[in-house]
Structure 1
Amino acid sequence: MVTIAIIGRPNVGKSTLFNRLVGKRLALVDDRPGVTRDRRSGEASLMDLEFEIIDTAGLEITGAETLEGRMRAQTEIAIAAADCVLFMVDVKVGLTPQDLDFAELCRRTAAKVILVANKAEARGAESGVLDAYSLGLGEPIGISAEHGMGMAELRDALVEALGEEAFADPLAEDEPEWWEEEAPELVAEGDEGEEAEAPPYDDTKPLRIAIVGRPNAGKSTLINRFLGEDRMLTGPEAGITRDSISVEWDWRGRKIRMFDTAGLRRKARIQEKLEKLSVADALRAIKYAEIVVIVFDVTIPFERQDMSIVDLIVREGRAPVIAFNKWDLIEDRQPVLAELREKTERLLPQARGVKAVTVSGETGEGIDRLMKAIVETHEVWNRRISTAKLNQWLSRTIGHHPPPAVAGRRVNIKYMTQVKSRPPTFMISTSRPEALGTSYTRYLINGLRESFGLFGVPIRLGLRKTDNPFAPKRKRPS
C-alpha cells in the first residue's frame, strides 16, 4: 500500500487533514500549535484512492536533545519511509522562514513532494497561494482541510505524482480487519442443555493491547522495547504522549496491535481542554482493547491513581495485567518484590489473582515474561465453561453453603449458565433475585474463580427470575 506523510510547521492543519482522509477524528485537534507529537498512521481514502497516511509533529528548528528536536527526528523518519510527502503551508498566515527551511529538507530527503496550501477558503488567501510558488515545489494545491475544499484537486495531484497503478491493490478483499470487535458469543435461552464442550484457546488469533498508567511511568519506553525501535517519542518530561497511538507488530507469529496512551491523572487535576481530550482518547483505547497493561512506576507504586485505573479497567470488563516498570532502578530486590506481592493482593481485591510482572523498558528485562502473562490472561478472559460443569459446581456450592433465608423463605436457585465470554459472564435463574444479597453473590463469584481458575479477570454474574408455571399467561396484544 502507498504511504503518504503529511508534514509542515506547527498549526498549519496537518491533523485536520489526517482526520478528513481517514474519515474519523483519530488525531487530536486544537487551536494551539504543537498538539501532535508522535507520528500516527491510519488507513485513508480519497475518492477512489486508498493509501496509508501518516500524521507528524510540527517541524521546528531546534537542538536535537530538546523535546522539539526529538519530535523532528520522528518526522524525518516518516519522510524517509513515505512514497510521497504532502508539504502543508498555511496561506492564511503566509510563508515563514521555517517553511523555506523545511521546503529545502523536502527537496533533499523526500521521494516525491506535493505542496498543499491549506486554509485557502480564507478571505485574501489568493496572495498566499501565489507566494507558495516561491518554495520551488511545483504548483500549490489550494485546499481547506476543515471544510473539505480542494479534495478533488489533491486526488489528481496524488495520481500525477505516483501514477494510478500505485494505488491499485489486486489482493484487496471485502473482509473485516483483524482488529475489529467480534460479536458477543451468546447462548440462546433453551439451548443451554445442548451446549458442547468449549473449543480450546487459539493462541494464533490477533490480540489488542492498551498500555495505560500515570504520566511518566514509562509507557512509551516500554512499547519501544517491544518493537525494538524508537517508534514512540520518549524523554524525561512528563506528559509527552497526547494521542492514543496504535502500532502493529508480530510476537512469535501472532499479530499484536498495541496502543500507547496519554498519562491518566486524577480528574480534579485535569484543567486544560487538551488534556481532557487526551484522557478521553485514552479511555476509548481501553474500551477498544482486550488486554490492558497498567504500568506502575516501581519507585512510587500503588499511588491512588494507579488503583483507580485498575478499578476502571475491571468495570469496563477488560483484562488487566500489571507491569512494575523501572525495575532496573531497584537494588535490593527481594524485599521490594515481597512488598509488591503483598500490596497487590491487599489493595486490589477487585482484580484478585491479577498477573503482575517486574519489567524494565530501559533494558528490556522482563519483556518476555510480560507477554507470557498477557497471553495467559487473555486465555482466561476468553474461557468458556460448559453448562453441565457449571450446574454440577452450583449444586455442590449450594449444598455446602445454602443461600440465605429472607422472612423465613429460602431463596431457590435453579439453574446457571455462561451467557458470554470476554469477560466471563454468567446468569443464574432464581425464584427471588432481589433477596439473594451482595455477600452471597460475592461468595459465588469467588467460588467460580477458585474452581475454574478465573483469576485476574472481571467476572460478571447476573440474576434473573424464573417464570412461575402456574401464573396466568398474559395475552399478547392482537
Structure 2
Amino acid sequence: MSAIVAIVGRPNVGKSTLFNRLIQRREAIVDAVSGVTRDRHYGKSEWNGRIFSVIDTGGYVLGSEDIFEKEIDKQVELAIDESDVIIFVVDVETGITGMDADVAQLLRKVKKPVLLAVNKVDANNRIDDAYEFFNLGLGQYYNISGITGSGTGDLLDAVVAALPPQVEDDNDAELPRFAVVGRPNAGKSSLINALIGEERYIVTDVAGTTRDSIDTKYNQFGFEFNLVDTAG
C-alpha cells in the first residue's frame, strides 16, 4: 500500500485547490464558499519517482455544534490517524486565526511529520506576511500558491523526504469500480459505510450531504474493487 499524505486546515484556506494541484487532476470541488468539502477525498500523486496517496479533508472547526462541521471534524481526525505525513494549510491573506491555532494544537500532539504550507502567496509582497506563521510553533513553513503552483515543488520535496520507506504499491487504478447511485437521501453513504465497516462517509438526514463522487477500496470474498459513493 502506498504512503498517505493528509491535507488539513480550517475551512476555505485552499486545501482542495492544493489537492487538485498535487494529483494534477480537478477531482475535488473548489468553491469560495466554506464547507464545500465534507468527506475525505483520495487521489494519487507522484513526485521524483515516488507515488503516494493524498487525502483532501473538510475544514476543521473545533467545538462546532453544526451537524456537518462535527462530522467533518471526525473525518479530519480519521485522515490524520491513517496518514504518514500531514500538510497543514493556512491562508496568508487572513493571517493566523483562532481556528488555525486549534488545528495547530491538534497537530502538535501527533507523532508524525507536519509540513506547514502558507497558501495564497501569489505575490512577493505576501512573503513578509508569512513570517507570522512561525508563531504556530510548527517550525519551518513553505510559501505556496495552490492556484499557480508556485512553491509546491519545494513542498513536495519535503513531503517525499518525510515519507516512510517505499513498499510495493497496490494497483488501485486497475481495480473494478462499482458506483452506488440513487436519489438524494436514499442511504447510499450508509450502505457503503456498512459494507466497509467504518464511518468512511458523512451520514445525516439532510439531503445533499454527499457532494463529491469518492472511491473506497473494498475487499469481499477474496476480491478487491472500488466502491464509488455518488451525490444524489
Matches within 5 A, 1:296-315: none
Cα distance in 2 for partners of 1:215, 1:239 equals: 6
2:222 aligned with 1:221: no
Cα distance in 2 for partners of 1:177, 1:104 equals: 36
Deviations 1:429-465 (A, max 9, x none): xxxxxxxxxxxxxxxxxxxxxxxxxxxxxxxxxxxxx
Match of 1:95, SS state, is: coil
Match of 2:80, SS state, is: helix
Cα distance in 2 for partners of 1:168, 1:111 equals: 17
Q: Which amino acid aligns with 1:87?
A: F
Cα distance in 2 for partners of 1:176, 1:96 equals: 38
Q: Which amino acid aligns with 1:231?
A: R
Q: 1:57 to 1:110 in 2, by over 3 A?
A: farther
1:16 — aligned with what?
Answer: 17
Cα distance in 2 for partners of 1:155, 1:251 equals: 35
Higher RCO, 1 vs 2 (CA within 8 Å, ≥6 residues apart): 2
Higher fraction of helix = 1
Matches within 5 A, 1:89-238: 89-122=90-123, 124-162=125-163, 166=164, 168-169=166-167, 171=168, 177-179=173-175, 207-238=176-207
Q: Which amino acid aligns with 2:190?
A: T
Matches within 5 A, 1:323-338: none
- Overall identity of the aligned pairs, in %: 42
| Contact 2:3/2:166 (8 A) holds in 1 | no
| Contact 2:117/2:142 (8 A) holds in 1 | yes
2:51 — aligned with what?
Answer: 50
Q: Which amino acid aligns with 2:202?
A: L
Deviations 1:21-78 (A, max 9, x none): 1111111111111110000111112343321111101111234672211110111011
| Contact 1:64/1:70 (8 A) holds in 2 | no
2:216 — aligned with what?
Answer: 247
Cα distance in 1 for partners of 2:142, 2:162 equals: 13
1:326 — aligned with what?
Answer: none
Q: 1:109 to 1:172 in 2, by over 3 A?
A: closer
Deviations 1:288-319 (A, max 9, x none): xxxxxxxxxxxxxxxxxxxxxxxxxxxxxxxx
2:30 — aligned with what?
Answer: 29
Cα distance in 2 for partners of 1:51, 1:81 equals: 13
- 1:151 is displaced (CA, Å) by 2.0
Cα distance in 2 for partners of 1:79, 1:176 equals: 21
Cα distance in 2 for partners of 1:46, 1:34 equals: 29
2:227 aligned with 1:258: yes
Cα distance in 2 for partners of 1:63, 1:29 equals: 22
1:70 — aligned with what?
Answer: 71
- 1:168 is displaced (CA, Å) by 3.5
- 1:160 is displaced (CA, Å) by 4.0
Cα distance in 1 for partners of 2:33, 2:111 equals: 27
Matches within 5 A, 1:409-424: none
- Size of the aligned set, in residue pairs, is 231
- Larger-Rg structure: 1
Cα distance in 1 for partners of 2:196, 2:3 equals: 22
Cα distance in 2 for partners of 1:260, 1:114 equals: 30
| Contact 2:38/2:68 (8 A) holds in 1 | no
- 1:213 is displaced (CA, Å) by 1.3
Cα distance in 2 for partners of 1:74, 1:42 equals: 16
Cα distance in 2 for partners of 1:148, 1:7 equals: 18
Match of 2:181, SS state, is: strand
Compute the TM-score of the two structures, normalised by the length of structure 1.
Answer: 0.46
**Which sections of structure 1, spanning at least 5 residues, go unmatched?**
180-206, 264-478
Cα distance in 1 for partners of 2:94, 2:125 equals: 10
1:38 — aligned with what?
Answer: 39
**Which sections of structure 2, spanning at least 5 residues, go unmatched?**
none
